[in-house]
Amino acid sequence: MKLLLVHPSPLMYSEIYLRLEPLGVERVAASALAAGHDVRMVDLQVFEHRDLWNQFEQFHPDAVGFSLNYLANVPEVIDLAKAIKRSRPDCFVFVGGHSGSFIADELLEHGAGSIDCVMRGEGELSTPMLLEAVGDRQLSKVPGAVTPAGSGPPPPLLPDLDRFRPARHLARQRHKYFIGVLDPCASAEFTRGCPWDCSFCSAWTFYGRSYRQSSPEAVAEDLASIQEPNVFIVDDVAFIHPEHGFAIGQALEKRNVKKSYYLETRTDVLCRNREVFEYWRKLGLLYMFLGIEAIDEEGLKAHRKRSHVDVNLKALEVARELGFTVAINLIADPSWDVRRFEIVREWALSIPEIVHLTVATPYPGTELWHTESRRLTTLDYRLFDIQHAVLPTRLPLENFYEELVKTQGVLNRKHLGIAALRQTAGIAARLLARGQTNFVRMLWKFNKVYNAQRQYQEHFKPVQYKLRPPKRIGTLPSRAELYVHDPRAANA
């Protein structure tokens, strides 16, 4: 079967800081290729809609699968699905991915017949089964499948992460993937899942709170095959088990693989497993992202972060001692007033790290979704990108955005524009000489992308597709109900 996989367009955040290869789609593609299908991929982060249509005409796929990791991409994906069905009613259209897995029924409803199936959960095992069943009544029995004719059993968890190496060759324009100075940059996965359970996050509910590791040899083989000199490690929390990190590092050393790396981890993991991070510093780990989220105990408790202010501060010290460049995230609460923004600005300016501010957002699949949705001020999917306020703000909304953008602007001055160019002049010149322009362009984009008026006005755009609030607002469902993957299968 001819299969075309599509990753939707970038969201606000990716317009500036990064643009990364769609690893999940490449994994699904690898499993479909292994099953003998002819697969192509279009990543709308780096291609235009007209490129998708050209590919659609030339390749004439039997099936088109959309990746829907991000809720804010829902309207784009539904409109594309409708356009594809209009143009070729015989083409099978399906949707999968993180956010899609939590809102399968409502996607079918919005699609009004143009989406044949939503695949919940990981796509590697289920996609070949689905393609096998297209045109058959057994379709609605495929694990993870949600169709207008009914739903299959729960989606299967991939027991062995080594099995499908991402089909990276399908990603054309790879030079456009980058994160900060790591330009160009590939992505890789060492582990999948997260054992913590923060209230604002759906990473743990998606995987049924399971946690799996790739074998060190498979990771080393994958990294050795990557052309790019830089790698972003997509794990939710890197190096939870230090022995796994050491084993991967040793396998890389054996193969003489030398790259620069960027990863995300927790502050308590960094403090606890300092040695493995120190070892990786020598291997080329330069940058790390730490989800600090709040600067006080009250905030950390509200997010159920299971960490403390002193641990967060200690982690920053450890990272500085080891010589990492660190970006941290703080969650701006809609209850913040002018004074609170001021305090956060002062705190963020008092530390050398790069500080990002995102807005607290209840996403389907999170606990927050069930406890906070009563207060939603909008049901417009496009605003659920953690850069917009979807809950009532204490400040008038316009002023909230003014304070938010002002704070982001002040914090960004530390690492964008002239200040950044001064610190990175050598790197910037080397990248430009090699024709890599992503990083240098990023330095000047902030004012074009972040604009309080634009963000405020986006609340008044006509809304074609509305998010469906949970049925029982205020009541927290059981954990099993929150999970996409059955937790009993998780440790199998």
Residue ranges in contact with ligand B12 by CB under 6 A: 10-11, 13-14, 18, 20, 22-25, 27-28, 65-67, 69-71, 94, 96-99, 119, 122-124, 127, 189, 201-203, 234, 236, 358, 363, 385-387
> In whole angstroms, how close is the CB of 360 to ligand B12 at the nearest point?
12
Closer by beta carbon to ligand SF4, 196 or else 369: 196
Interaction residues for ligand SF4, span 302-361 (CB under 6 A): none
Query: In the bound complex, what is the minimum distance in angstroms from residue 314's beta carbon to ligand B12?
Result: 23
To ligand SF4, the closest distance from the beta carbon of 360 in angstroms equals 13
Stretch that binds ligand SF4, among 54-62, 172-180, 192-200, 382-390 (CB under 6 A): 192-200
Least CB distance to ligand SF4 at residue 483 (A): 13
Among 291, 362, 364, 365, binds ligand SF4 (CB under 6 A): 291
Nearer to ligand B12, 55 or 358 (CB): 358
Tell me the sheet residues that pair with 340. Answer: none
Q: List the one residue from 204, 279, 401, 446 that touches ligand SF4 (CB under 6 A).
A: 204
Residue 266 engages ligand SF4 in binding (rule: CB under 6 A): yes
For residues 217 to 246, the per-residue mask of contacts with ligand SF4, x marking binding by CB under 6 A and - elsewhere, is -------------------xx---------
Q: With contact defined as beta carbons under 8 Å apart, do 164 and 34 qualify? A: yes
Nearest-5° angle of CA 277, CA 247, CA 209? 75
111 binds ligand SF4 (CB under 6 A): no
Which entry of ligand B12, ligand SF4, none binds 266, CB below 5 to 8 A by partner kind? ligand SF4
Residue of 103, 125, 182, 198 that binds ligand SF4 (CB under 6 A): 198
Choose the binding region for ligand SF4 from 112-120, 176-184, 195-203, 326-334 (rule: CB under 6 A). Answer: 195-203
Q: How far is the CB of 202 from ligand B12 (least distance, A)?
A: 5
Binds 291: which of ligand SF4, ligand B12, none (CB < 5-8 Å by kind): ligand SF4
Distance CA 174, CA 449 (A): 23
* Residue 278 vs 333, nearer CB to ligand B12: 333
Does residue 391 belong to the site contacting ligand SF4 (CB under 6 A)? no
State the minimum distance, in angstroms, from the CB of residue 205 to ligand B12: 10
* Reduced 3-state DSSP string for the chain: CEEEEEECCCCHHHHCCEECCCHHHHHHHHHHHHCCCEEEEEECCCCCHHHHHHHHHHHCCCEEEEECCCHHHHHHHHHHHHHHHHHCCCCEEEEECHHHHHCHHHHHHHHCCCCCEEECCCCCCHHHHHHHHCCCHHHHHCCCEEECCEECCCCCCCCCCCCCCCCHHHCCCHHHCEECCECCCEEECCEEECCCCCCCCCHHHHCCCCEEECCHHHHHHHHHHCCCCEEEECCCCCCCCHHHHHHHHHHHHHCCCCCEEEEEECHHHHHHCHHHHHHHHHHCEEEEEEEEECCCHHHHHHCCCCCCHHHHHHHHHHHHHHCCEEEEEEEECCCCCHHHHHHHHHHHHCCCCEEEEEECCCCCCCHHHHHHHHHCCCCEHHHCCCCCCCCCCCCCHHHHHHHHHHHHHHHHCCCCHHHHHHHHHHHHHHHHHCCCCHHHHHCCCHHHHCCHHHHHHHHHCCCCCECCCCCCCCCCCCHHHHCCCCHHHHCC
| CB 220, min distance to ligand B12, A | 18
Question: Whole-number minimum distance, CB 180 to ligand B12, in Å?
Answer: 11
Q: Cβ of residue 263: shortest distance to ligand SF4, in angstroms?
A: 13
201 binds ligand SF4 (CB under 6 A): yes
- Binder among 5, 104, 118, 194 for ligand SF4 (CB under 6 A): 194
Q: Which residues bind ligand SF4 (CB under 6 A)?
A: 194, 196-198, 201, 203-204, 236-237, 266, 291
